[in-house]
Structure 1
Amino acid sequence: MSPSHRDATPAHRGTRRAPGRALSRRTMLGLGALVAVPASTLGALQLRSKDTAAEATTSPGRSSGPKPSASAAPPAVVAKGGGTVPFRPGKAMLGAYLSLSDRTTAQAQTLRREQLGRDERIAHVFYDWADLLPTSIAGLPAQAFPMISWRGTKLADITSGASDELIARTARRLKSLGRPVLLRWGWEMNGDWYAWSPSRNGKDPAGYIQSWRRIHGIFAEQGATNVSWVWSLNWNSSPAADWNTFAALYPGDKYVDWVGVSGYNLHREAPDKLFGPIYRSYAARKPIMITEVGSVDRGGRTKADWITLLAQWVEAHPAVGGVVWFDTDTHPGYAEKWRVDTDAASLAAYVAMAKSARFSG
């Protein structure tokens, strides 16, 4: 499968708004020609989701082999974890990267609060490698956890020690937040679209792991113990190679609090196709967070029905402790409206998910 999104050209990269301020998210590519899906497709999607959920995983990121019998015991799942942002079994935090064209951040938060009848539990923001990361986040709901996606750089710039002071400065600033914070450094490293991807660093996953551990160690030295570490993959690896598997890139249980995954419904993918392989690879070891998710709207109830399928999938997968929607219509260079209220049916499906007991975390 082609990757869900890439930084392919300067026009499609996340752009800096100002030094020290959050980045706009990079563009999503590879959508191809999208056509409307008839209502009957929903049943097919549901069947597809159920079928793929039963696949056995023989290696990280690759599903094959016979389906287990109906009497097979459910896989073991983690019952604790998450670091300073704790995982609560049976509960999932619902959050978003929120950027709406017609509103300020505070106004957008107010709108979602009115629509959902609750605040978001995770507020997702993006920063560049050299930015001054925040010591406070404007408009952050009182009970919300910030999730900071911090871009990387060439891995040699980290492993050589050349960036140690920049890393230490960042650690001190996040420490000064004085509250638990999710840190998602160097995300989607198993793709080929970022400077920190092993595919752009000699096809050597060891450089990524060494970089992660070095950053983790410097944060510890600076006393940034409020940070919860989110190791976040893309749902599929590009290229598909032994050096680019989930397992090859994993920094180790000691250095990871949450396992995250990005996955978008671009080509009618069922939720289990996007999130099942990573879930089955790590749910027994770490809580799982869907760190980026969205759905293309092909007209009718296609987007609403997919949101319902996502809610059903999370309900059936107890190790999922967080879902973070890419809730925006301001993404540069791309016309797709990822926001949850593009139509009444989609908003209603999202509100139903937000109000369910599963998402009361």
Structure 2
Amino acid sequence: MTTGHRAPGRLNRRHLLGLAGLAAVPLAGLAVQRIRSGQASAGATAAPGPAESAGPPPSAAAGPRVVVKGGGAVPFRPGRTILGSYLALKDKSFTESLALRRRQTGREQRIVHVFYGWTDTLPARIDGLPAAATPMVSWRGTEYSDITSGGSDALIARAARQLKRLGRPVLLRWGWEMNGDWYRWGTVRNGENPAAFVECWKRLHGIFAEEKANNVSWVWSPNWNPAPAADWNSFKALYPGDRYVDWVGVSGYNLHRETPDTLFDPIYGEFSARKPLMITEVGAVDRGGRTKADWITLFAQWVEAHPAVGGVVWFDTDTHPGYAEKWRVDTDVDSLAAFVAMAKSVRFSG
């Protein structure tokens, strides 16, 4: 949902947020106290999904089994959540935007989210990146045949060498929201063939391994709800397998009064026993009063109640083209206060 890290040639994000045709969930009079630890939304799955690996041993504590390790080059830390954002603020440079959020929250970004097109040269450095921050590079996909044919192997190898030159751990989120109908790399636009998406993912993964880009942590990141909803477009059908994924990500926005349960419980139920989870894009519509602030607090409580969530990346911008909503966290005093409280909590000190 962004033009990227303000570099020429980087992509324009979709104008619909990937939520066309979703079923809205009423949330009249949103109240923070409604969240309950372990609350499940309709459609959440209890099973851990296709069992490619057995996962960690069951915890001695009561409750469902959850992952206790993983993350690859960007390790998951149980009990901690890495907090960062895509940050692009009107009339401010990237460095100025980082400085403003540092003053407001009293802390640095731990993840800095940037976007690149398929044929762009991926970054070997990111100017202004805080010393302790991890870049998350969202890299556009292409038609599957461009990859499965081998015709893009040189381009992929170049990308691997570039990220290797960063000399620090990096999260790579290739072909995100592949279960939507708004991107050229979506399954719906590639013959409704999830096996071809998986083949593409494995080919990229293999070329990066050949280039010894061992600092790359792979983030597989669908949208919270598929479009269309079909077996061939499901999480299970599109998942490349535990060997090829370090983090399971998900995009989900409070656009139509969705609760965090509605947005994130299904993918959490599918993967929390096997892989650390990262909310790779999240934001909330301001409906007046404390609606946005209360949703941020509700979301923070949801993360507290879901121990497999090891990363959150906010969509913190007011420059998204073609969309009037101001996604930035400081649209009003209460929303900023709610975000700062979340950022300063122990859970978000990862």
Is 1:260 aligned to 2:285, yes or no? no
Deviations 1:315-358 (A, max 9, x none): 00000000000000000011100000000000000000000000
Count matched residues.
336
Residue 27 of structure 1 corresponds to which residue in structure 2? 15
Give the counterpart letter for 2:157 in structure 1.
A
Gap change, CA 1:106 and 1:249, over 3 Å in 2: same
Residue 126 of structure 1 corresponds to which residue in structure 2? 115
Which of 121, 138, 141 is 2:127 aligned to? 138
Which of 136, 141, 145 is 1:147 aligned to? 136
Contact residue 158 and residue 164 of structure 1 kept, 8 A: yes
- Cα drift, residue 45 of structure 1: 5.3
Distance 2:194 2:342 in 1: 37
Contact residue 124 and residue 324 of structure 1 kept, 8 A: yes
Is 1:108 aligned to 2:97, yes or no? yes
User: For 2:113, what is the secondary structure of its paired residue?
Assistant: strand
Contact residue 260 and residue 289 of structure 1 kept, 8 A: yes
What does 1:1-361 correspond to in 2, within 5 Å? 14=3, 19=8, 22-28=10-16, 30=20, 40-42=29-31, 46=35, 50=39, 52=41, 56-57=45-46, 73-361=62-350
More moved, 276-285 vs 49-58: 49-58
Gap change, CA 1:201 and 1:322, over 3 Å in 2: same
Gap change, CA 1:275 and 1:294, over 3 Å in 2: same
After TM superposition, the score normalised by the length of structure 1 is 0.87
Gap change, CA 1:286 and 1:55, over 3 Å in 2: closer
Deviations 1:8-33 (A, max 9, x none): xxxxx9589655x644433235499x
User: For 2:120, what is the secondary structure of its paired residue?
Assistant: coil
Contact residue 35 and residue 302 of structure 2 kept, 8 A: no
After TM superposition, the score normalised by the length of structure 2 is 0.90
Distance 2:127 2:315 in 1: 19
Distance 1:112 1:15 in 2: 18
RMSD between superposed Cα atoms in Å: 2.6
Contact residue 48 and residue 271 of structure 2 kept, 8 A: no
Distance 1:238 1:48 in 2: 29
Deviations 1:83-142 (A, max 9, x none): 010000000000000000021000000000000100010000000000011110011110
Gap change, CA 1:122 and 1:82, over 3 Å in 2: same
Distance 2:106 2:250 in 1: 27
Give the counterpart letter for 2:116 in structure 1.
Y
Gap change, CA 1:203 and 1:135, over 3 Å in 2: same
Distance 1:196 1:321 in 2: 27
User: For 1:140, what is the secondary structure of its paired residue?
Assistant: coil
User: For 1:168, what is the secondary structure of its paired residue?
Assistant: helix
User: For 1:358, what is the secondary structure of its paired residue?
Assistant: helix
Contact residue 183 and residue 230 of structure 1 kept, 8 A: yes
- Cα drift, residue 49 of structure 1: 8.6
Deviations 1:232-254 (A, max 9, x none): 01001111111111010010111
Contact residue 115 and residue 138 of structure 2 kept, 8 A: yes
Gap change, CA 1:316 and 1:31, over 3 Å in 2: same
Contact residue 35 and residue 301 of structure 2 kept, 8 A: no
Contact residue 84 and residue 228 of structure 1 kept, 8 A: yes
- Cα drift, residue 75 of structure 1: 1.2
Contact residue 66 and residue 273 of structure 2 kept, 8 A: yes
Distance 1:309 1:37 in 2: 12
Distance 2:42 2:102 in 1: 33
Contact residue 32 and residue 297 of structure 2 kept, 8 A: no
User: For 1:149, what is the secondary structure of its paired residue?
Assistant: strand
Unaligned stretches of 5+ residues in structure 2: 50-60
Contact residue 17 and residue 23 of structure 1 kept, 8 A: no
Gap change, CA 1:170 and 1:248, over 3 Å in 2: same
Identical counterparts, % of pairs: 66
Gap change, CA 1:290 and 1:269, over 3 Å in 2: same
- Cα drift, residue 44 of structure 1: 8.3
User: For 1:27, what is the secondary structure of its paired residue?
Assistant: coil
